[in-house]
Every structure is written in C-alpha cells, then in structure tokens.
Amino acid sequence: MKSNLARRSTAEKHALPFITRTAVMRAGRTLEQPRVFDTESFFRTAGLDKGAVVYARGAVVFSQGDAPDSVMYIQQGTIKLSVTSYSGKEAIVAMLESGDFFGESALAGQPVRQERATAITATRVLTIQKEHMIRLLHEQHGFSGRFITHMLARNTRIEDDLADQLFNSSEKRLARTLMLLAHADRTAQTPCVLPRISQQTLAEMIGTTRSRVNFFMNKFKKLGFIECDGNLTVNTSLSTVFSYDERAGTRARKATS
C-alpha cells in the first residue's frame, strides 16, 4: 500500500509541472498547492529584462499599420491601445497596466498592427521578438500558462466591455470604467486612487463626448462618489451608479453571438 501511494505521488508530480513542492497531507495522500507564475523573475532569469525601454508620458510604442514583429510586456506604467478610423476618429480599445502583455497580434499572423499603443504615464516596456516569443511559449510551460491566463482574462474583459457598451447608459459606463481603472471592488472598505487620466481619454473609452464626461464627473463629485484634490479618488459608493447585472451581461453576450 505504501509503495502504491509513493508511486502515485511521484506520478502526480510529473503530471502537474506547475505546482509547488509545498504539500498538504490529507486522508493519507499528498495534495499539491498551485503556484502563481512569477513573470518578472522569469524574465530576469532568462536575461530578457535587459532590453527594457522606458517610454515618456505620451510616447508612442507602436503605431497602427506598423509591422507586428514583437510582443510587449508592461513592467511598470500604463499603456493605451487605440484605433483610428479613416475619417480620423479615435476609439480606445484597452487600458493596460503592469503585468499585461500587448501586441499579441504578432502571433496571429496579422500583416500590420491594428492599433496604436501610447504610454499614459512613464512606462517601462519589455519587447520580445516574435520568434523568441513563439519559442518561449513552446518550451517554457509555466510561461505559456501565464500567457494563456492573460489572454483569457483579456477576452472576458472585452466581452464585458461590449455588453456594457450595448446596454448601459454613458453615465453607468463611466462609473464602471472609473471603478475598473481604480481597481475598486464593490466590497472594498477604502477609497482607491485612479491613475492620472484626462476626461477626453475617458470620453473615448466609453464612447461619448468630453462635455458629458465632465457633467457626470461633477455629479459624482457632488454626491461624494469621487474626490478631486490633485489626484482622482474613487469611493466604492460609486458602484451604486453602475448596476450592471452579470447575468444580464451573459445573456447579452449569448444574444450577440
């Protein structure tokens, strides 16, 4: 019996390469606890962080139409992804922060970049050439798992953003966006400080005008939902404005699929 348990334990360790060696004994068998992949440590060990570049606020990392020859990783700061139409109208499609990848279209075979990436704050970006990225994803299972998790989270966020755009008013969209940018949870007890961002950028993110954003921001301030004293502080009470129902969002996604 003991030898069977030992063999099973060994087999489990080989079958689960992304787990720690910290074991919990339960009912006579060994259960392994999942380990969060340390992307920064991986890049340092692989020597990839030596080529990181710091972009000043407002600097363009890459432009719409550029050759998609690399994937980027944000080590510090904030990146705005935007798309410009032929008529010159700009739409913001994502706001990314430390720990996020962008430029993944390089792996999808697209001939040119479909969006422009701009630094919102001073941002440190690590560039991984396309061929090197593909090799890492094939050879480094822990890293590929981390990248897949990122892509799944991005896909879920895009679906939620689409449902929000289709079914919520601009006031609710603004409230939701402020909470997301500030990483404010409805159950949190303390206010959250928002990264510096202009009202024009907020307007482009939610698909409305700057004047409407200004109107709603003043309204939120009077109601005590936000505070503006140099920095923008988001109070969790702002969630009362945004009554987005997740079940309704799921139904909306099914209806549009």
pLDDT along the chain (257 residues), means of 10: 46 38 39 68 86 94 95 95 89 91 92 94 95 94 93 90 88 92 67 82 91 95 88 86 52 47
* H helices present in the chain, as ranges: 2-15, 39-46, 130-139, 141-167, 170-181, 199-206, 210-222, 246-256
Indicate the SS3 state at residue 205. Answer: helix
Q: How many Cβ atoms sit within 10 Å of the Cβ of residue 111? A: 9
Burial of 206 (0-12, 13-18, 19+ CB in 10 A): buried
Q: How many CA atoms lie within 13 A of 188 on its CB side?
A: 17
CATH 1.10.10.10 fits 169-241, yes or no: yes
Indicate the SS3 state at residue 88. Answer: coil
pLDDT of residue 229: 77
* CATH 2.60.120.10 segments of the chain: 39-163
Read off the pTM: 0.71
CATH 2.60.120.10 fits 39-163, yes or no: yes
pLDDT of residue 23: 36
Best CA proximity match to 226, nearest among 246, 249, 197: 197
pLDDT of residue 15: 38
Indicate the SS3 state at residue 146. Answer: helix
pLDDT of residue 96: 93
pLDDT of residue 188: 57
* CATH 1.10.10.10 segments of the chain: 169-241
